[in-house]
Structure 1
Amino acid sequence: MRPSDETIHRLRDLLQRAAHEPHTITLLTDEELVAIEHIEAATPHPTPWVADTRGVSRELAGRFGVRSLLARGLLRETNPVPGADRVLDVPPEVRVVLDTRRIGLGYVRAVRPQNGTGSSKIVVVQPELGAFEEDISVQGFHLFSACNYDDAATRLARWCVPVDGPRTGGMMEIATHEWPQFLYVELPDAKVTDLNVEVLLPDHRGERDPEQWLIAYSDRIALLACPSSASTLAVRPLTTNRLRELIDDRIASARRYAQVSSPRGS
C-alpha cells in the first residue's frame, strides 16, 4: 500500500530537519512494535527479544505492548465505552516509523547474530533527502531516527567493520558451504565476528530482490563474501572505507536502475 501524501510530507519534513544532525523519531520495544504492527496490519520488523524469550508468542507480546503504549501516551483509545469493543488508534508521530521502509529507494540491513537472535542496523535510503536509521539491540529496543545519508552510510560501515586492518590480497572464489571452514583457516586463533547483510535495492531490472553479503572480522582483518553463482562465493579483503565505497556504489547503481524503470511503472 502506497503511503498517503500526508505521510510522505511528514517523512520528508523529518529528513529535512535532520540534514545537519540526526533527529530521533522514537524509541520502541519489541512488544510495542508488535502491537503497532498488529493494529496497522503492517509488515513485521525483526524482534530479537520476542524471538529469544521462551513462552512469549508475538500475540502475547503485542498485548503487553498495548499496555505499555497506552501508559506512555503513544496509543489512543478512541472508543472508551464500557462493554464496547475497544478501538485503538496509533498517532501519526508513532505510525510514521512503519512507513519509513515504504518510501525511498530501498534499504541495507546488517545483522550481528548472537545466541540465535542478534542486534542489527537498518538504513533506509531516500535519495537527495537523507536516510532513516533503525538500530535494534539484542534486548529488543528499536531506536528510529532520521539523518543525512553520508553519516548513516559511514555509521553502517563502521558498525559492520569496526576494524580497519591491511587491505591485502585479491578476490578468490570458494564453495558456499566452505565459508565456515575458510574463516577458520584465514582467521586462526582469533575471536571471529560474523554478520549477515541484506541489500534490498533496485537491480538492473528495476526489481528489488534481496542480495546477501557475508562479513567476518577478527582483531585486524575483515573479509567480505558475495554470491558469485548459486553455489559459490567471491571473497575479498574488506576495510571500513571499502565497505562504505561498496554501499555508495550499490546505491548509485540502484538509483540509475530505478530511473530507467520508473517510466514503465508510471
Structure 2
Amino acid sequence: EEHAVTFAGGLAAGGMIPVAAIYSTFMQRSVDQIIEDVAMQKRHVVLALDRAGAVPSDGETHQGIFDIALFRTVPNLVIMTVSSAADLGLCLEWAVYGTKMPVSIRWPKMSCPSEIPSFSKPVEEGKGLFIESEEFAPALSARLSEEMESKSLESSGDKVLFVCTGSMYSETLTAARSLLLKGTECAIFILRFIKPFDEQFFLQSALPFNSIVFIEDGMKAGSFSCYLEGLVHRTKENGCRTKVLAFPDSFFGCGTRDQLLDEAGLSSAKIAEAAFSLVQNA
C-alpha cells in the first residue's frame, strides 16, 4: 500500500492520472505517503477504497472503519462516499476528469442498492444528495399525504432528516420507510462529499427538519457526523434534536454485514429506533 500510493504519486507527477485501488481496510498503512507524496504535492491521484465500513467474514483486522477519521484532516484531499453503481460511475468520472486534486472514493463490500433518479445527478463539488420521500418511497409518501388529507390533519411538526454516508443508504432507507409507516415525515441526505463540503447547501436542506439522525460507517471518534452535529447546533436558529450513530470505540470481529452493523448500533432497526426516540422526546 505504501509503495502503491507513492508510485501513483510519481505517475501523477509525470502527467498521468493514476487510480490506485486499495482496500479501505489497509489504507492506514499509507497515511504518511498520502500526506507527503500525494496531498502535500497536490498530485492528481484517485484512491479507490473498496471494503469501506463493515466488512463481513474477514475479522477485526479487515474492518474499513478508520479511513474517514484518518483522512478528513488531510489538506488538499477530496473525500467522496458513493451510494450505488450509477453513483460510483459518476463520482469516478468526476474524480478523473472534474478536478485536479487528489480524491479518495469509498464504497462497501455489499450488493448495490436499487437505483433512484438522484443517484444519476451530475456531481457538484461539495454537494450531497437530498432525497425526499416521494422519490425513495413514493407509495408510502403518497399514503401518508392521503391519510392526513382525508382526516383533515395537519402535520404534527415532527420531520426527521437522515444524514448518511453513501454506503449506509440501504439501512437508512429501510429505517426511513419505518418512520413513514408510523406517520412521521422524513427525508435522506447522502454525504456524496465529506470534503470539501458545501455547508450552506446542507443547512438549507436541513432547515425544515427538527430531528436529524447522522449515520456513518466509520469510527465515531473523529467522525464527520460529529462535526456536522456541532455545525447544526451552532447555526440552526429554530433548534434541532440530533443523534450520531457510528462505530463505537472498539474493534469488531467476524460476522455478516447485518450482524456487524447491529453490534455497532447501525442496523436499520437501530437507526429507526434512534429516530423514533428523538420524535418521542420532542
TM-score category of the 2 structures, normalised to the smaller one: under 0.3
Q: Which protein shows a greater Rg?
A: 1
TM-score (norm 1): 0.25
Structure number with higher strand proportion: 1
Larger helix percent: 2
